[in-house]
Amino acid sequence: MTPGVRTHYPVITGQNGVFSMNPFEKVASTARQAVPLLARASAAQRDAGLARMAEGLRAARSRLLEANAADVEAARTAGAAPAFLDRLRLDDPRVEAMAQALLEVVALPSPLGRIDSLMVRPNGLRVGRMRIPLGVIAFIYEARPNVTSDAAGLCIKAGNAVILKGGSDAQRSNEVIAQVLAEALAQVGLPPGAVQLVGLGDRAQLAQLLQLDQYIDLVIPRGGEQLIRFVAEHSRIPVLKHYKGVCHIYLDESAPVEMAVALCENAKVQRPSVCNAMETLLVHRDAADRLLPEVARRLVDRGVTLHVCPRARAILQAESLPVLDATEEDWYAEYLSLDLAVRVVDGLEEAMAHIRQYGSAHTEAIVTADHGRAMEFMERVDSSVVLVNASTRFSDGGELGLGAEIGISTSKLHAFGPMGLEELTARKFVVLGNGQTRR
Amino acid sequence: MTPGVRTHYPVITGQNGVFSMNPFEKVASTARQAVPLLARASAAQRDAGLARMAEGLRAARSRLLEANAADVEAARTAGAAPAFLDRLRLDDPRVEAMAQALLEVVALPSPLGRIDSLMVRPNGLRVGRMRIPLGVIAFIYEARPNVTSDAAGLCIKAGNAVILKGGSDAQRSNEVIAQVLAEALAQVGLPPGAVQLVGLGDRAQLAQLLQLDQYIDLVIPRGGEQLIRFVAEHSRIPVLKHYKGVCHIYLDESAPVEMAVALCENAKVQRPSVCNAMETLLVHRDAADRLLPEVARRLVDRGVTLHVCPRARAILQAESLPVLDATEEDWYAEYLSLDLAVRVVDGLEEAMAHIRQYGSAHTEAIVTADHGRAMEFMERVDSSVVLVNASTRFSDGGELGLGAEIGISTSKLHAFGPMGLEELTARKFVVLGNGQTRR
């Protein structure tokens, strides 16, 4: 095995009677040491590393599929659901897609070293801000094995070392992937310790990793709300949190009916299992008779179950559309399924108050023909992505022009909303003088 | 007393047998409720609030000086040092300076609502990023009473509610100041709960405040390293940390002697007690004979004690200049006094390695006539402010063009280096469409 891709199982070992204080200290310090080497390399060299990673994944395909088959078999034996097994499974097209995703990151411009402007101060000093790597990122995820290469590629492109902790069900697959990625770095003269996979046994051990703030600059957890809350509560390292996506569409009084139908259908039905799908529909009371039957009919035709407020029920039952009564829990629900909460509101203020109370600060949209209300919604709704006359499904790094996405932040520090390469960097001040002193 | 300026002493009180879980919950939720009201106000209204604060401080001068005299007397009785008493003491010019500082913040452009660019995606969606308030900021400080109004003014200008915890020695002064600020907000129709002062008894109680991540978005501690480490270790809320400023100047082989002397004198002597003063001087070995005697003579003339490496000692003792031997601790030292560590290095690489090992990621400068080395230093030194041919003393929000400064971050998340109004905001995505759906 290449140094830097060893899977470090957190067995606390004693040497000469001295016990290591933290089983992850070696991994973390190896990552830390890789940072200046990675930062010092050229953008072309980092890109060459990513291109080698793509080649390496193609070359290791049979080994990877073998490891993955063992992961899938173990999960099946343990009684995993078919949908889970499908997410876990790799095949030829999926491995090729992993390689392609790395090559797409190669094609993005490097954010590093960029200085957007150099202002001149009255004393002649030129002052700018240069993009630099964040340092060491711990990426903790539960998802498909392809996330391993996607996340590592973005981190390396932005000059960061990454410590990966994937789902234990995908551990065999992830070990092969991480080994390929680290070897690719070594082949182009970059430190293989910039990509390391750790095998964590349980939450108590994860908590130990989260103490190493002297080595690790940022933790990005991606997975269920329980994992993210655990990380946020136990970390001494800053955490970019993504809780849930309870996304709203508000149909204003003036919303055109065809646009309302098309956007609601797209936002709810196109991919209901993801965080930017619509979960609650809010409708202005004066437009409810005009809009709600059309919108609801289309959604019901597409298999959606509606959980509605009493005012919506009166309108929809008159049209013989099937509905369930919404409970308080429905307004908080991230269904991730073909379910939708529906509420008639008295107007824009009540819609925004509903979003503030029940929303998750992720993504909200208004459908309106009225410019003033479009601007007011855009200005005042306090969520990471606010759309006017567009589907909530556009709340995605690729769709918003970031090139690729490492996650979505629903808290405001450092980044808010979809995070791309730029969000994996920091900025330092650079100052060019010719002998200036301060008075 | 106006609501919102009550000093909440953290006595856990029982009501009907139910004990409050966290004594600061009420303060924090009051601050949270103020946020949408503050964000919704116009920039003109927030500015009017700041101008009223300035008027209020002038009008409350005699009351404030009386409270301050009691603080000073209590500190004197407790045996505080004269320098400490001087920092604590307010007088007419200092109160006027507090009012003026608020008016200077009024004159700065509001960062809120700004969208720097609206890009067009291939599907016609316009995508931009709008500056919005962060939310609730807890500002924990030990310093002079003027920090109370300086920090509150910046937070309010950026649309944030602030919870202030000042030094206990300044508590009487701070109570008057906070009351004046909250009353000023109320007078212009803004929520007085946007500025609240808490009186915390001890560190255990501070730790309770730092648990309220459901209400507070950011903690900014300003004070000694011990305070900042305590906050970082006990906070569930993100913390903008400022540890120490061990700032370096590196005199390159090609450094012009007059510039080297002038910059070193300014960086060390102009105000030695602050975090952007030079603490270590590094000199290229091939320029040491030419530069070091001149630089050292000027510094010794200005009262500086030199803690030097053996190579520097050989050169300086030959010139009969007084020196002390540097120990390993000197390279880590933030003297904040007329002391300077001096080391001769083999070149740029060794200088950068020294900075990486002993520095605090705050501010470093190179003095050089060589363009290539200027660029290399600028690119590769991993500190929040990197200067070429300018004094480290320019590492300051005002000097770098930020208008005003709430602190300096020495970690990279969210902000790195001096933080102004912009660093007290976040950005959300805004997306303007005309019915786009995702395929």
DSSP SS3 for A432: strand
Name the residue of chain A whose CA is nearest to B367's CA.
Answer: A435
A228 plus A252 within the same structural domain? no
Whether A427 contacts chain B with CB within 8 A:
yes
- Average pLDDT for chain B: 93
pLDDT score of B223 = 85
Inter-residue contact B415 to B299 (CB < 8 Å): no
Inter-residue contact A263 to A252 (CB < 8 Å): no
- Each residue of B48-78: pLDDT tens digit? 999 999 999 999 999 999 999 999 999 999 9
Task: Write down the residue that tokens 């962060």 correspond to.
Answer: B134
DSSP strand pairing (A126-133 vs A115-120): antiparallel
Q: Which of A178, A205, A234 is the last residue of a domain?
A: A234
> How many domains are contained in chain B?
2
Q: Report how far residue A386's alpha carbon sits from residue A377's, in angstroms, rounded to the nearest whole number.
A: 8
pLDDT score of A200 = 62
Cα atoms in the 13 Å half-sphere on the side-chain side of B80? 18
The answer to whether A262 contacts B435, with C-beta atoms less than 8 Å apart, is yes
- Each residue of B252-262: pLDDT tens digit? 999 999 999 99
Inter-residue contact B392 to B365 (CB < 8 Å): yes
ipTM: 0.92
The amino acid that residue B27 corresponds to is: V
End-to-end Cα separation, chain A, in angstroms = 59
B127 plus B230 within the same structural domain? yes
CATH number of A84's domain: 3.40.605.10
Domain containing A349 equals: 247-396
Q: Is the dihedral of CA A304, A310, A312, A314 positive or negative?
A: positive
Query: Which two structure tokens, joined as six digits, stand for A45?
Result: 């060299």
B209 plus B261 within the same structural domain? no
Name the residue of chain B whose CA is nearest to A400's CA.
Answer: B127
**Nearest CB neighbour to A391, from listed B134, B384, B437:** B437
Whether A99 contacts chain B with CB within 8 A:
no
User: How far does B189 lie from chain A, in Å, by closest CA?
Assistant: 18
Nearest C-alpha neighbor of B100 from the set B153, B177, B175:
B153
Name the residue of chain A whose CA is nearest to B230's CA.
Answer: A236
A114 plus A257 within the same structural domain? no
CATH number of B347's domain: 3.40.309.10
The answer to whether B121 contacts A401, with C-beta atoms less than 8 Å apart, is yes
Dihedral, B16, B18, B22, B26 alpha carbons, nearest 10: -40
Task: Please write down the HEC assignment for all residues of chain B.
Answer: CCCCCCCECCCCCEECCEECCCCCHHHHHHHHHHHHHHHHCCHHHHHHHHHHHHHHHHHCHHHHHHHHHHHHHHHHHCCCCHHHHHHHCCCHHHHHHHHHHHHHHHHCCCCCCCEEEEEECCCCCEEEEEEEECCEEEEEECCCCHHHHHHHHHHHHCCCEEEEECCHHHHHHHHHHHHHHHHHHHHCCCCHHHEEEECCCCHHHHHHHCCCCCCCCEEEEECCHHHHHHHHHHCCCCECCCCCCCEEEEECCCCCHHHHHHHHHHHHHCCCCCCCCEEEEEEEHHHHHHHHHHHHHHHHHCCCEEEECHHHHHHHHHCCCCCEECCHHHHHCCCCCCEEEEEEECCHHHHHHHHHHHCCCCEEEEECCCHHHHHHHHHHCCCCEEEEEECHHHCCCCCCCCCCCCEEECCCCCCCEEECCHHHEEEEEEEEEEEECCC
A118 plus A62 within the same structural domain? yes
Question: Does a structural domain hold residue B391?
Answer: yes
- Each residue of A98-126: pLDDT tens digit? 999 999 999 999 999 999 999 999 999 99
Inter-residue contact A286 to A253 (CB < 8 Å): yes
Cβ pairs A/B, distance under 8 A: 201
pLDDT by residue, tens only, chain A of 439 residues? 333 333 333 334 434 444 457 889 999 999 999 999 999 999 999 999 999 999 999 999 999 999 999 999 999 999 999 988 999 999 999 999 999 999 999 999 999 999 999 999 999 999 999 999 999 999 999 878 999 999 999 999 999 999 999 988 999 999 999 999 999 999 999 999 999 999 866 788 899 999 999 999 999 999 888 889 899 888 889 999 888 899 999 999 999 999 999 999 999 999 999 999 999 999 999 999 999 999 999 999 999 999 999 999 999 999 999 999 999 999 999 999 999 999 999 999 999 999 999 999 999 999 999 999 999 999 999 999 999 999 999 999 999 999 889 999 999 999 999 999 999 999 999 999 999 999 9
Scanning A269-308 for CB atoms below 8 A from B yields: 270
Q: Report how far residue A373's alpha carbon sits from residue A352's, in angstroms, rounded to the nearest whole number.
A: 12
A74 plus A215 within the same structural domain? yes
B211 plus B189 within the same structural domain? yes
A85 plus A203 within the same structural domain? yes
Which residue in B131, B429, B432, B434 has the most chain A C-beta atoms within 10 A of its own C-beta, making it the best mutation to test that interface? B429
The amino acid that residue B53 corresponds to is: M
A202 plus A276 within the same structural domain? no
Name the residue of chain B whose CA is nearest to A412's CA.
Answer: B426
Query: Which two structure tokens, joined as six digits, stand for B304?
Result: 């500086």
Question: Does a structural domain hold residue B427?
Answer: no
**Nearest CB neighbour to B437, from listed A232, A263, A430:** A263
B114 plus B55 within the same structural domain? yes
Q: Which of B234, B264, B298 is the last residue of a domain?
A: B234
Q: Report how far residue A328's alpha carbon sits from residue B123's, in angstroms, rounded to the nearest whole number.
A: 37
Query: Which two structure tokens, joined as six digits, stand for A38?
Result: 């990675």
Nearest C-alpha neighbor of A284 from the set A339, A342, A222, A348:
A348
Which residues from B are below 8 Å from A417, CB to CB? 428-429
B107 plus B229 within the same structural domain? yes
Question: Does a structural domain hold residue A437?
Answer: no
pTM for the whole thing? 0.91
- Each residue of B178-201: pLDDT tens digit? 999 999 999 999 999 999 999 866
Nearest C-alpha neighbor of B197 from the set B35, B56, B10, B405:
B10
A60 plus A177 within the same structural domain? yes
Question: Does a structural domain hold residue A366?
Answer: yes
Q: Which of B234, B269, B300 is the last residue of a domain?
A: B234
Whether A43 contacts chain B with CB within 8 A:
no
Question: Does a structural domain hold residue A404?
Answer: no
Question: Does a structural domain hold residue A421?
Answer: no
Question: DSSP characters for A113-149?
Answer: T-EEEEEE-TTS-EEEEEEEE--EEEEEE-S-THHHH
Inter-residue contact A170 to A88 (CB < 8 Å): yes
Question: Does a structural domain hold residue A6?
Answer: no
Question: Does a structural domain hold residue B211?
Answer: yes
Inter-residue contact A184 to A219 (CB < 8 Å): no
